[in-house]
Amino acid sequence: MFDEFEHYNIETLAVRAGYEQTGEQENSEAIFPTSSFRYQSAAQAAARFGGQEPGNVYSRFTNPTVRAFENRLAAMEGAASCVATASGMSAILTTFMSLCQAGDHVVSSQSIFGTTKVLFTKYLMKFGLEVTFVSQTDLSEWQAAIRPNTKALFLETPSNPLTEVADLDALSQLAKANQCLLVVDNCFCTPILQRPLEQGADIVIHSATKFLDGQGRAIGGAVLGNAQLVGEEVRGFLRTCGPSMSPFNAWIFLKGLETLPIRMRAHCENALSLASWLSQHPKIEKVFYPGLTSHPQYELAHKQQSAGGGLVSFRVKGGREQAWQVIDHTKMVSITANLGDVKTIITHPATTTHVRVSPEDREKAGITENLLRISVGLESIEDIKRDLARGLDLI
């Protein structure tokens, strides 16, 4: 039998951790599509509801399939606790609703997922949370923004779409020195490339929708950390407020984790090959990829990530017309805004993912009209290059 306490490497944990076989002796993990659970007696029901007896109660907060996904991801991130949520956004909402209150202050990187920024500025601020946005890479800005009521520092690294790398060691020291929490959205790297908890982060957040699923099939998220913050407080919010993951989606993500190590390696290999090719291409102005030695933070990325990741961004020579031309001449890659799929995806951030940001702020953040983002998939890298070359060669 798989022994949770034995030392296993992450490839083994991805395939084996977190699941308890049922009496049916199945080899592949079962799905439990049940909303509630039956008790043997009134006393057992009382003990379960009262928390004196561990076990299933109600699938808003206890479901065997969801628990298997949580336990497997926790083993891979090196976390004591994991709470699965309905989406990546609900993971972020759940984290800040459980750990903060009105009057608390958060320092966030300005280079975060656009919808997360809207969550902070349009909704959480409405309930009295104060948020200051700072440069992802300038440590002195983080330091200067911290106040006595600062509860958390928040970031994702590498950033989307410009792949700026945040220094996790330095930021976790800053958080500790100021008694606040370091919260890291680890969506782009996944535990295969980077484990922020080992570098001193307190909370890791995932959009399972992306690489954890890996085939673009379902929406989900997760929050990971210690038993008090996540096991008690985050789970308490989930139990009461209900942004829960369905057992069907949990099963998809659970099976997605099994191939995550080999998929991430293949994504990174293709992405590095594409980034190198683009940086030699005469119609390209600039390439953003942390795995290239020309990346301004190559050393830092190399130290804290085991590879460059699956996202490559680049500026073409010209403006929106030339960028759109590259998109419109593809025959194979998908024109959509998701990422982390086996299918290669091309996105024009200025008019899609970042369209809600004002044109001035967008320009300031480097989301120029000639910028394109590729989530590099697992097709033949030669076919991916050929597909992009169609439009590039016309510039």
Ligand X SMILES: *Cc1c(COP(=O)(O)O)cnc(C)c1O
Residues in contact with ligand X by CB under 6 A are 87-89, 113, 116, 156, 160, 185, 187, 207, 209-210, 219, 221
Q: How far is the CB of 86 from ligand X (least distance, A)?
A: 8
**Residue 119, phi-psi category: left (phi > 0), alpha (psi -120 to 50), beta (remainder):** alpha
Q: How far is the CB of 222 from ligand X (least distance, A)?
A: 10
The number of residues making up the chain comes to 395
- Matching residue, tokens 């369209």: 355
By beta-carbon proximity to ligand X, the closer residue of 207 and 330 is 207
Q: How far is the CB of 228 from ligand X (least distance, A)?
A: 24
Q: How far is the CB of 156 from ligand X (least distance, A)?
A: 5
By beta-carbon proximity to ligand X, the closer residue of 19 and 237 is 237
> Judging by DSSP bridges, how do beta strands 130-134 and 105-109 pair with one another?
parallel
Residues 6+ apart with CB under 8 A from 93: 119, 123, 124, 243
By beta-carbon proximity to ligand X, the closer residue of 246 and 322 is 246
By beta-carbon proximity to ligand X, the closer residue of 207 and 370 is 207
Q: How far is the CB of 117 from ligand X (least distance, A)?
A: 11
Q: Distance (Å, rounded) from C-alpha 394 to C-alpha 301?
A: 34
Q: How many CB atoms lie within 10 A of CB 258?
A: 17
By beta-carbon proximity to ligand X, the closer residue of 65 and 87 is 87
By beta-carbon proximity to ligand X, the closer residue of 187 and 203 is 187
Q: How far is the CB of 54 from ligand X (least distance, A)?
A: 29
Residues 6+ apart with CB under 8 A from 296: none
Q: How far is the CB of 268 from ligand X (least distance, A)?
A: 17
By beta-carbon proximity to ligand X, the closer residue of 156 and 369 is 156
Residue nearest to ligand X (CB): 88
